[in-house]
Structure 1
Amino acid sequence: MAIKKTALYSSLWASCDQLRGGMDASQYKDYVLTLLFMKYVSDKYKGDPYGMIVVPVGASFEDMVALKGDKEVGDKLNKIISALAEENDLKGVIDVADFNDEDKLGKGKDMVDRLSKLIGLFEGLDLSANHADGDDLLGDAYEYLMRHFATESGKSKGQFYTPSEVSRILAKVVGITSDTPQDASVYDPTCGSGSLLLKASDEAPRGLSIFGQEMDNATSALSRMNMILHNNATAKIWKGNTLSEPQWKEANGRLKTFDFAVANPPFSNKNWSNGLNPEQDEFNRFTWGVPPEKNGDYAFLLHILTSLKSTGKGAVILPHGVLFRGNAEARIRENLIRQGYIKGIIGLPANLFYGTGIPACIIVVDKAQAQGRDSIFMVDASKGFIKDGNKNRLRSQDIHKVVDVFTKQTELDHYSRLVPLSEIAANDYNLNIPRYIDASEPEDLHDLSAHLQGGIPNADLDQLSAFWEVFPTLRQTLFSSLHDKGRDGYSQALVEPGQVKSTLLAHPEFTAFRDQALAPFTQWTEKQPFEELQEGDKPKVFIHEISEALLEAYIPVPLLSRYDVYQILMDYWAETMQDDVYLITQGGWPAAAQLRVLVPKKGEKLQETPDLIVNKTKYKADAIPPQLIAERFASQQLAEVNAAQGVLDEATAELESYLEEHGSEDGLLSAAINEKDKITKASVTARLKGIFDYEEEQALKQAKKLFNAEATAKKAHKEAKEELDKRVLAQYGQLAEEDIQALLIDDKWLTSLEAAIQSEIERVTQQLANRLKELEERYHDPLPQLTEQVESLSNKVNGHLRVMGLEW
């Protein structure tokens, strides 16, 4: 059966739990990722004489499975991995983790049990159908695990992974286009686990030639495995310190140069010059200045510039301090600006990265256009993010907006600007973004005259001009001018603050706007090739095409941000739709209609909640919920269930109301309260056997009647639900492909997306309602009126005090 993307992720993350104990995330990641690699290459290449990886006899994952329960499982696992490593020149890559380490994995039976469970978790995954070509479950799963490992590894050990959202920005702004040839080279001198290189390569139509260097041995191994899992087995990743021991050199000893470079160097490295004399650097990397001894940010940037061809382009993540720090860094910065190397700067939100919480920026360099460059394009993207646990995370819309604005050099108020070099020179070559872009929110100033004399300032209402353009008569409905009362520039409210939203929603111009705002969505749905999706297609290509079309469709719609609408689709994709699409692309449309029978493992509870239970058999529907089947194919039975539910709800409400009315300590049913402080049918029946008080007897009989009515209603609802479930279960096996498409596309995907867009339309109008209500409440009672009210209330209090004999 096809694997859901989220199900694969949860299974892999569950495997990590088997190793926790004596290790932190920075250690157990090596074990989990190594087993993932072994399972993948065994499933994909075993028995394939033309495969990129040779799986020798006795060195497959099946051989690992045979070791479950073996007393020497750790040592034998090491030998299997070593055999595969030797056969494929992967020594020092996949054999970094020691599976026989008693300090980390436990001794004796503890080690055997832990490793056996770990093997068992991977044993149940069939990965042979997944193709690692930039649109692969396994490549994404590897990224998923590394992100989680980075999150848990802590500040000092999480720097091996650049958040994929940031990697995507670098890859898209560095200058790779649809015309970039496959033999063009991309280089990362501090490549970590390789995510930046892979994202950059994915931007080229046929990929790029990948070169990287990583100082940490274990992280370098992660990068090599990552490359193989993404079908980039020819990628060249070297170990070593890039600054003191650069590995990529030409035959003449000079640094090798590349077409593109991307990098996320360690921030403010205090040991950058270890093993290096920058004053006598053999590669002439510090021509434009020597960075401070205790801060290596510019050392990496200068290395990258030297490693680029004369037409080369690069994008580097550095801390914000490089934009404005003084002394040696100021001189380097001035030289680079005057040389024309810096094409643009993108300011990022704080707390994005796993190794640090400080804000960072992306510096985009371009040697090709350096001589004629007379400006630098700046983007302040620091406000666009969401909270994700204890970190901030860029949303899909944040990424898209940055890339759109930067690549098209679009100037937006408070967000982006093309800054002339003359202006930068006038600021002593300080590149601090707030000097050039004011991204702060305008201050909401109070009008003292309005507070004193009443009325709402027209200046505040004029700031809502975008809304008045869409609702041209609404302002006259809500406000009238105070000109006739000698208050030029002020208006009075015609609607009470609490009625603003209802007035807005009922206004015919809002109804017209709602229809106008939904029209692009309707047109988009009619043009998208949902039904053409088939087995073997690439989910990432599919979502890219339909999301770009939706973004394009919402360009002309006023008030709505097309990026917000785009985010609705991307959120739904991440939460729900991608799982459905991955099932279809792995097994065709019929795969989306399959039900799984849930059977708990021996001694364990079910890990998943069943969607359907028929004759005590529990089923899980991965893509099409039973409710959708019922609504389309069993509407009569569904109506009967809903009717029975209504009768049951009414019976339960009547019973609860009666028990609450008469179940107090001195109520007619107080004697029927049981030892658990409840009134039940059994306690009422027992009390009725020896009762003589007429009123109490009648109350008990009424309570029993209501209990019986609820029980009858429960039985009727249960029987109706069982009939519906049987009908739905039978229908799953009768679905034609067009039925499956209608259920998924129309009833599930498009219905959910339309509801979300309608909510976004209401959210935008709610902003207007909230602001108008705020202004009306702010200036509703002018100061003289408030003073009069205070005086009146004070007189009343004094009068009461005099009556009480308290007077002074």
Structure 2
Amino acid sequence: MALKKSDLYTSLWKSCDELRGGMDASQYKDYILTLLFVKYVSDKAKADPNSLIDVPAGGSFDDMLAAKGDKEIGDRMNKIIAALAEANGLQKVIDLADFNDEEKLGKGKEMQDRLSALVGIFNTLDFRGSRAEGDDLLGDAYEYLMRHFATESGKSKGQFYTPAEVSRILAKVVGISASTKQDQTVYDPTCGSGSLLLKVAAEAPRGITIYGQEKDNATWALSRMNMILHGNEVADIRKGDTITSPQFTKNDQLRSFDFAVANPPFSVKSWSNGLDKDYGRFEFGKPPEKNGDYAFLLHVLKSLKSTGKGAVILPHGVLFRGGAEARIRTELLKRGYIRGIIGLPANLFYGTGIPACIVVLDKENAAGRTGVFMVDASKGFIKDGNKNRLRSQDIHKVVDVFNKQTEVDRYSRMVPLTEIADPKNDYNLNIPRYIDSSEPEDIQDLHAHLHGGIPERDLDALSPFWDAFPQLRAELFTPNRPGYSDLAIDITAVQQAILDSTEFQKFSTDVSTIVGDWFAAHRNELEAITADTKPNDLIAALGDDLLARFKPVALLDEYSVYEQLMTYWHSVIHDDVFLIMNEGWRDAAKPRKTIEDKDRKLSEAPDLVVGSGRSAAKYKMDLIPPSVMVAAYFADYQTHIDELTTAAEEAARAVEEYTEEHAVEDGLLAEAMDDDKISKALITARLKDAKKEGSDPDEVKALQHLIKLYETEAAEKKAAKDAQAALDLAALTQYGELNEDDVKAIVLDDKWHATISNRIAGEVNSLTLGLVARIQQLGDRYAETLDELDEELAILDGKVIGHLADMGIK
């Protein structure tokens, strides 16, 4: 049975990490990605006789498998890779890593074991059915490894990888779409490992012609491999410094492209070293000698056709720095080349922690452009380890707002060029000048503090709630005086009053109905998942429809609802779809034995254990977890077990309470204690001695009572354990009795639909808690007037004076 994608990649990374030895991640990635490449092209050659990559005899992964355990394995692997490279003109691309390097891989037996284990790990991957739609085993494995290598490589060595989330934004705002023609071109002058180019290309389902240039030799090699791994064997990726030695020229001029994207190194100080020709790139001014940001921006602009569009990731300084950069920025704005600016959160990138922005360029209709569309997306992210990461909702919101030019308060607006050119701004593009993304100040009301009451201004600020629940405000508040209201109920009862209101209950029901209708509309589509399903297209359709259905719903942010779906997709459904595509519904639902691999130090935690001790059978249920199976078929029996468990817990609590009362110094159980500890064995021994000694009858009764409590506890625990074992066995048996329709019903209804509904219901609950917290805050803030506080202070002052007088102090 196929492993879940997430488990497979986690296993791959952990295994590789175990075998890394003395290398840092920036070196180790060359070995791992080379092996990934050899495995992929070997598998593809087996499945596709027309593969563009020739896998010669003596140059395949099978030859590596044959070398496992050989004391000359390192040398043999080098020769295998050399044969593959020579057959395809990939010298200095796939043969950079030396698999016979004793300093990195160890000597003798150490190298032999390490390389044999690595080959064994990659042998578990099967890419024969891999597709190039951007959601295949290979693409995800490469993305997973690259992200981990970038994270592990540190600040100075992680710049070869643009986070996939940022790449998706550039791909979608640059203008590539399903209508893009195959002969149209996309260019990245600083392409790194090629991840940004590939994300852009993925937006063109009919294909697009790819061009790229990379300065670093090892990273250029990664990019070449990456293109082949993703089915873009004919991509033209060249080597060299883009600024000083651009490789794409024609008739001594830069070649031009339909689209261009770039994530150049930030603020390079040596950008002009060796520059002897500018190719007309600096007609609007030469960038500062010690800062190359505008050199890359101007290169991209010059490389665009007259209708070309581009997007470049740059540090925020390009938006507001003065001097030569200000002059260039002014000229670009006057000519209308800058279509938009998107401000990103800080700490997204692996090479730097500073915040960056996306500058969107568009030559088409530039002369008629009258404004710059700005988006402040700096607050939309989630913490992920030591980096920040854009969520699905952040990506979708940025793209929707930018492409539709939608103005959102404190988030986005079309800024007229007249405002940018105004002397007070002087062509400064710093986003906070034009978009105030700060939260409104929570102003204290002095009159309310003096005389009580909650200001109507604060209640009016909650108008989205009152619009959705027109009668709720009148139920919660009563008039005090003009401009002020009082809580009509006790502050502690606010939450329950909201939950009990008919309007809120109807709102919750309506949300549930929308989710139900949405799922029902896509159920046939989900039922029809097969090996030919395209997961990216599937989730795009699901997500866009959910967004559209919740857009008109008051209060709920449709992007927060969308995030609930996407989080569950990435954590669970994506794996489920992968299993169903590879195994079929019924086989994917079958239990499998857990993986125990001592050589790779891998051990899976079982979902279900039947039996005990050495004879115990441990199972994983990847598609249908035992909890879902039990809820579907054994809900009543689970209730019975819950009751038994509660009884066992109550029995244990009775033992604890009785011992706490009597197992103390001079207590009835004091003689049975040993080093302040007590147990059934100690109690039993003491009872025997107490009867012999004719001890206090009360002590004997206490000992006998505690033994009964221990026996009751043991019996209750055994009953619960036996019942659970019976349920586990029944559940395991039930898996074997499921037909395909049963599996579909459980997965679609009891797992996916139920979980998504609960997650979105959680968004409704969060709304409630937010409203309750604000009302309670306002209620507490103005609960006591100044006169009441003065009166309370006078009382306390009198008490202090009285206490001092009692102490003889005047």
Partner of 1:353: 349
The answer to whether the 8 A contact 1:192-1:219 is kept is: yes
- Kindly provide the amino acid, as one letter, of the partner of residue 369 in structure 1: N
**Cα distance in 1 for residues equivalent to 2:670 and 2:82:** 76
- Kindly provide the amino acid, as one letter, of the partner of residue 295 in structure 1: N
Task: Report Cα offsets for 1:17-66 as digits up to 9, x if no partner.
Answer: 13434221111111111111222222222374312222211222222123
Q: CA deviation at 1:357?
A: 1.0
Partner of 1:56: 56
Task: Report Cα offsets for 1:100-146 as digits up to 9, x if no partner.
Answer: 12222222222222222222222223332332332212111111111
Structure 2 residue 785 is matched with structure 1 residue 782: yes
Q: CA deviation at 1:353?
A: 0.7
Q: CA deviation at 1:548?
A: 1.0
Q: CA deviation at 1:761?
A: 0.2
**Cα distance in 1 for residues equivalent to 2:202 and 2:47:** 29
Alignment of 1:688-707 (within 5 A): 688-691=687-690, 692-693=694-695, 694-707=697-710
Structure 2 residue 461 is matched with structure 1 residue 463: yes
Partner of 2:631: 631
Partner of 2:2: 2
Of 174-183 and 44-53, the range deviating more from structure 2: 44-53
Structure 2 residue 414 is matched with structure 1 residue 418: yes
Tell me the SS of whatever aligns to 1:468. Answer: helix
Tell me the SS of whatever aligns to 2:544. Answer: helix
The answer to whether the 8 A contact 2:46-2:128 is kept is: no
Partner of 2:711: 708
Task: Report Cα offsets for 1:209-242 as digits up to 9, x if no partner.
Answer: 1100011111111111111121111111111111
**Cα distance in 2 for residues equivalent to 1:640 and 1:771:** 42
Normalized against structure 2, the TM-score is what?
0.96
Structure 2 residue 363 is matched with structure 1 residue 367: yes
**Cα distance in 2 for residues equivalent to 1:368 and 1:162:** 27
Partner of 1:653: 653
1:496 corresponds to which of 487, 490, 498: 490
The answer to whether the 8 A contact 1:346-1:378 is kept is: yes
1:378 corresponds to which of 371, 374, 378: 374
Q: CA deviation at 1:776?
A: 0.9
Partner of 1:727: 730
Partner of 1:524: 518
Partner of 2:29: 29
Q: CA deviation at 1:88?
A: 1.5
Q: CA deviation at 1:603?
A: 7.8
Q: CA deviation at 1:244?
A: 0.9
Q: CA deviation at 1:668?
A: 2.0
- Kindly provide the amino acid, as one letter, of the partner of residue 126 in structure 1: D
Task: Report Cα offsets for 1:472-505 as digits up to 9, x if no partner.
Answer: 122222222222xxxx211222223222212211
**Cα distance in 2 for residues equivalent to 1:101 and 1:605:** 24
**Cα distance in 1 for residues equivalent to 2:699 and 2:326:** 91
Q: CA deviation at 1:525?
A: 1.3
The answer to whether the 8 A contact 1:2-1:591 is kept is: no
User: What stretches of structure 2 of length at least 5 have no aligned partner?
Assistant: none
**Cα distance in 2 for residues equivalent to 1:3 and 1:275:** 52
- Kindly provide the amino acid, as one letter, of the partner of residue 167 in structure 2: S
Structure 2 residue 571 is matched with structure 1 residue 570: no
Of 107-116 and 300-309, the range deviating more from structure 2: 107-116
- Kindly provide the amino acid, as one letter, of the partner of residue 393 in structure 1: R
- Kindly provide the amino acid, as one letter, of the partner of residue 187 in structure 1: Y
**Cα distance in 1 for residues equivalent to 2:456 and 2:637:** 58
Task: Report Cα offsets for 1:506-557 as digits up to 9, x if no partner.
Answer: 1222112212222211210110122122222111111111111111110111
**Cα distance in 2 for residues equivalent to 1:599 and 1:5:** 15
- Kindly provide the amino acid, as one letter, of the partner of residue 298 in structure 2: L
- Kindly provide the amino acid, as one letter, of the partner of residue 90 in structure 1: L
Of 517-526 and 235-244, the range deviating more from structure 2: 517-526
The answer to whether the 8 A contact 1:189-1:214 is kept is: yes
Of 325-334 and 470-479, the range deviating more from structure 2: 470-479
Structure 2 residue 305 is matched with structure 1 residue 309: yes
Partner of 2:159: 159
Of 688-697 and 297-306, the range deviating more from structure 2: 688-697
Alignment of 1:609-620 (within 5 A): 609-615=605-611, 616-620=616-620
Structure 2 residue 737 is matched with structure 1 residue 739: no
The answer to whether the 8 A contact 2:47-2:128 is kept is: no
Of 167-176 and 699-708, the range deviating more from structure 2: 699-708
**Cα distance in 2 for residues equivalent to 1:722 and 1:242:** 67
Structure 2 residue 65 is matched with structure 1 residue 69: no
Tell me the SS of whatever aligns to 1:371. Answer: helix
Partner of 1:584: 580
Q: CA deviation at 1:655?
A: 2.1
The answer to whether the 8 A contact 1:18-1:114 is kept is: no
Partner of 1:319: 315
**Cα distance in 1 for residues equivalent to 2:806 and 2:19:** 79
**Cα distance in 1 for residues equivalent to 2:464 and 2:597:** 60
Structure 2 residue 240 is matched with structure 1 residue 222: no
- Kindly provide the amino acid, as one letter, of the partner of residue 582 in structure 2: Q
Partner of 2:248: 248
The answer to whether the 8 A contact 1:592-1:740 is kept is: no
Task: Report Cα offsets for 1:70-99 as digits up to 9, x if no partner.
Answer: 222222111111111111221111111111
The answer to whether the 8 A contact 1:15-1:121 is kept is: yes
Partner of 1:264: 263
Task: Report Cα offsets for 1:379-421 as digits up to 9, x if no partner.
Answer: 1111111111111111101110110011001111111111111
Tell me the SS of whatever aligns to 2:176. Answer: coil
Assess, with a 3 A threshold, how the Cα gap between structure 1 residues 666 and 28 changes in structure 2: closer, same or farther: farther
Q: CA deviation at 1:715?
A: 2.4
Aligned length: 798
2:325 corresponds to which of 322, 329, 354: 329
**Cα distance in 1 for residues equivalent to 2:475 and 2:48:** 75
Q: CA deviation at 1:288?
A: 1.1
**Cα distance in 1 for residues equivalent to 2:535 and 2:271:** 42
Task: Report Cα offsets for 1:255-287 as digits up to 9, x if no partner.
Answer: 11111001000000101001103xx52x11111
Normalized against structure 1, the TM-score is what?
0.96
The answer to whether the 8 A contact 1:194-1:226 is kept is: yes
Q: CA RMSD in A?
A: 1.7
**Cα distance in 2 for residues equivalent to 1:604 and 1:384:** 39
2:427 corresponds to which of 426, 429, 432: 429
**Cα distance in 1 for residues equivalent to 2:702 and 2:109:** 65
Structure 2 residue 408 is matched with structure 1 residue 405: no
Task: Report Cα offsets for 1:579-629 as digits up to 9, x if no partner.
Answer: 111111122212331211125335887611111122311111111012222
The answer to whether the 8 A contact 1:637-1:723 is kept is: no
